[in-house]
Amino acid sequence: MDRHIAMSSCWQIETHIIHFSLFIFHFSFFTMKITLAKIAEIVGGRLEGDSNPEISGALPFENADSDHITYADSPKFVKKISETRAGAVVIPKNATLPDTAKGIIGVENPRVAFAKILSVFHPYPTAEKGIHPNAWIGEGFKCGKNISAAPFVSVGKNVTLGDRVVLFPNVVIGDDVVIGDDARIYPNVTILDRCRIGNRVIIHAGTVIGSDGFGFAPDGKMYHKIPHTGIVQIDDDVELGAGNTIDRGTFGKTWIQRGVKTDNLVHVAHNVTVGEHTVLVAQVGIAGSATIGNHAVLAGQVGVAGHITIGNNVTVGPRSGVAKSVPDGQIVSGAPEMPHSIWLRVVRIIPRLPEMKKQLAALEKKVASLLDK
């Protein structure tokens, strides 16, 4: 089999290599206009007012104009609807309808609805289908239909890609990697050998999947590297920010479960499990073999010790250090972590410590004087 491009195994694509003079991405520069009735249908909302006005964009409350739609997700902003120039506003469905000539769409969650509306007006850019001649494709390559591989993509041996996968420039895919349908892998991402990527996964620029974990065995004189023979498994609908590092398991796997979202510069060590629909904000670091539950939120710069469990629906405040397991449903902050309500009391005391020290020293002198008498 031709080691450079093995298109015979990719039956959904043309039987020959598709050559491009350029690999370009198309953006829609025309002005899109959608009626309010169509927008209400998209978000599953209740429309009040004229359904015919056409909307050409979605902008924040303060910046919207008469042909835009915005949202008000709190009573405070619902009361201020008259102050926005927007032609239409998305509000909570149970909110009191304001006296206004603007189009109003009532929904369960205005913020989620607005996100859906934004995705209509600003869809992902579409990529040219096919494999650029400057991409390197290894032996045993298999792929679905309508894939896109940009210049300088490198794909190892026995790689399998699903339908509509997009590989941006300089993406490196190791041997025996499997990637599901509709994945978007942005520039300079590296996915190393044998890792598994699910459907509709988005991986932003510079992220590394499947690097060796930090494992060394000391003998008193030097450190001996522990081979990492596991993989990384990333389930469906995960989005990883830029500059993430997800280490492979020493044995078994590091597992990022369905719907997880990470910010930029997140590190997940070997054999960590991150539960479904959990959010890891910027600069979170999770040590080896820790388990994070479902629907947890780890705020910026949280550090998690190894071999502990953070339960379901836990929120960890920014810059916290979690050294022991946290039960389900807790809100913790601080380093070491403590219940958030206690942490709030602690941080109020900290600025007063110098004054309290002086008061304590004065009391000690008075007590000593009384004892002398």
Of the candidates 373, 354, 352, 349, the one whose C-alpha atom is nearest the C-alpha of residue 365 is: 373
d(CA 255, CA 274) in angstroms, rounded, equals 6
Distance, C-alpha 17 to centroid of its chain:
34
Tokens 């699903």 belong to which residue? 162
Tokens 């650029």 belong to which residue? 132
270 among known catalytic residues: yes
d(CA 241, CA 152) in angstroms, rounded, equals 22
Distance, C-alpha 200 to centroid of its chain:
13
In three-state secondary structure terms, 344 is helix
Of the residues 270, 277, 307, 340, only one is catalytic, namely 270
Number of neighbouring beta carbons within 10 Å of residue 358: 10
Instruction: Please give the order of strands across the beta sheet that includes 57-58.
Output: 46-48, 103-107, 88-92, 68-71, 57-58
d(CA 79, CA 81) in angstroms, rounded, equals 6
In three-state secondary structure terms, 79 is helix
The alpha carbon dihedral of 5, 11, 12, 18 has a sign of positive
Distance, C-alpha 234 to centroid of its chain:
12
Q: How many residues does the chain have?
A: 373
Q: Residue 145 burial (CB < 10 Å; 0-12/13-18/19+)? A: middle
d(CA 19, CA 38) in angstroms, rounded, equals 40
Distance, C-alpha 357 to centroid of its chain:
45
Active site residues per annotation: 270
